[in-house]
Chain A
Amino acid sequence: MIISVASGKGGTGKTTVAVNLALSLKNVQLLDCDVEEPNAHLFLKTEFDARIRAKISIPEFDPEKCDYCGKCASVCMYNALAVISPSNGEKGNVLFFSHLCHGCAACMVLCPHGAVREAKKEIGTVEIDHHDEKQFIQGKLDIREIMSPHLIRQVKEFINPTRTVIIDAPPGTTCPVIAAVNDTDFCVLVTEPTPFGLNDLVLAVDLLRKLNVPFGVVINRCDIGDDKVERYCEDGDIPVLLKIPFDREIAVLYSHGVPLIEKKPEYRPEFLNMFDKIREIVDLKSKRRDA
């Protein structure tokens, strides 16, 4: 079973939930897919034994074959190419802006002169700690790179389906989040009972319904704010899987990089209980699908 942990709003406790859920389980794999700022490693004693550079395809141009027709620039959805035609004895030029390129390869496939070849560009690293029964993998995007969905998908290639897989997703509701939660069996949405938390939760719920990923909600700092998040969940038949109170001690542990369940073991059954609820929902869904 693959469980993603996401949130509309940042800073609601995704990593806390992902790390502690993973630590509560056996034969587990934790994937930190928040590749722009992976931080789950701060709570684990990791020793990476493998590092793999992640690459995307970018175009390379053959000036011998190019006649500056401009086809490549016109098919580029991301405006990463400009073609200057030759004029008044000046040579033509193809300008490629690699940071805008999504690696879709349209320019390579559609060039009528075969003047565009595939080249590779490194965008980040996949780091793996194989060691014990809790395998940890994280993606780390290189500075100045922005194509995080590519790196997230490359992290997910290391998913081992014989284990329970927990994916720590980035915040928000944009492409990197879709890359992280897509094709997971369940998504845990971590939120807080504030207007910001609710606003972004609604956006995340819309996203998951479109992706057809079943989901439930964790309300963190559940005793602050108001009851609107709970009422929203009730009205929409969204299961509330776990509530974590606002507790200074939890914040202090977090700031020291200590996993919650290590110092407050009373939370372990809470995470296991949440896992059971998730399994029930996922099993029910697969039974319905098979029927």
Chain B
Amino acid sequence: MEICLTSEGSDLGSMIDPRFGRCKYFIFIANDGNSFEAIENPNLNASGGAGIQSAQFIVGKGVKTLLTGQVGPNAHQVLSSAKVVIHTGVSGSVKEAFNDYKNNKYNPVDAATVGSKLGSQMRQL
């Protein structure tokens, strides 16, 4: 599964979770869009370093492309070290986001889009 999206639920109709490190689910989709797998984020309640561990987690799954809302500096460092292409500002349902990506709606980013700790602050709100 080469493409990973951060999701609020476990199916393709779920909305994109804008947080990376502390998203509720990772949805992994094959490049041809024919199969997918949803995994609950094991780092959702990490006290710190959620972005780092989430990045390592999806890299270990063989992901080459990430579609999410925002990426912090630590996660960005791990992802770029593993040459994962990162697309941020992604929204809508997982299915829509995947189709938008296939239609080249999103451009990859080469830097973190938010400061550190934003995901954990959003969780408290």
Q: Do they bind each other?
A: yes
- The residue on A at minimum CB distance from B50 is A79
Q: Is B91 an interface residue (CB 8 A)?
A: no
Q: Return the chain B residue nearest A83 by Cβ.
A: B56
Q: Chain A residues near B71 (CB, 8 Å)?
A: none
Main secondary structure of the interface of B (DSSP, over half): helix
- For residue A100, which residues in chain B have a CB less than 8 angstroms away from its CB? 48-49, 52
Is A79's CB under 8 angstroms from B81's CB? no
Kindly list chain B residues whose C-beta atoms are within 8 Å of the C-beta of A90: 82-83
Q: Which residues of B contact A (CB under 8 A)?
A: 43, 46-50, 52-53, 55-56, 59-60, 74, 77-78, 81-83
With a cutoff of 8 Å between Cβ atoms, the chain B residues found around residue A95 in the complex are: 52, 77-78, 81
Cα of A85 to Cα of B78 in the assembled complex, Å: 12
Total A-B pairs, Cβ < 8 A: 41
A9: shortest Cβ distance to chain B, in Å?
A: 20
Contact B83 A82 (CB under 8 A): no
Chain A residue with the shortest CB-CB distance to B49: A79
What range describes how many residues of A lie at the interface? 10 to 19
Q: Which residues of A contact B59 (CB under 8 A)?
A: 84
Q: Are A84 and B52 in contact (CB under 8 A)?
A: no
A-B contact pairs, 11 of them (CB 8 A): A79-B48, A79-B50, A79-B52, A79-B53, A81-B52, A82-B52, A82-B53, A82-B78, A83-B56, A90-B83, A95-B77
Bound Cα distance from A78 to B60, whole angstroms: 19
CB proximity to B under 8 Å, residues A9-53: none
Cβ A73 vs Cβ B83 within 8 A: no
- With contacts A73-B56, A84-B56 known, is A78 near B78, CB below 8 A? no
A250 touches B (CB below 8 Å): no
* Cα–Cα distance between A152 and B60 once the two chains are bound (Å): 38
C-alpha spacing A81/B52, complex, angstroms: 8
- Report how far A81 CA is from B83 CA in the complex, Å: 18
CA distance A73 to B60 in the complex (A): 13
A47-84 vs B, CB cutoff 8 Å, 1 = contact: the mask equals: 00000000000000000000000000100001111111
Contacts of B47 in A (CB 8 A): 78
The minimal Cβ–Cβ distance linking A123 to chain B, given in whole angstroms, is 17
Q: Is the CB of A80 within 8 A of B56?
A: no
B46 near A79 with CB under 8 A, answer yes
Contact A84 B50 (CB under 8 A): no
Q: Does A93 contact B (CB under 8 A)?
A: yes
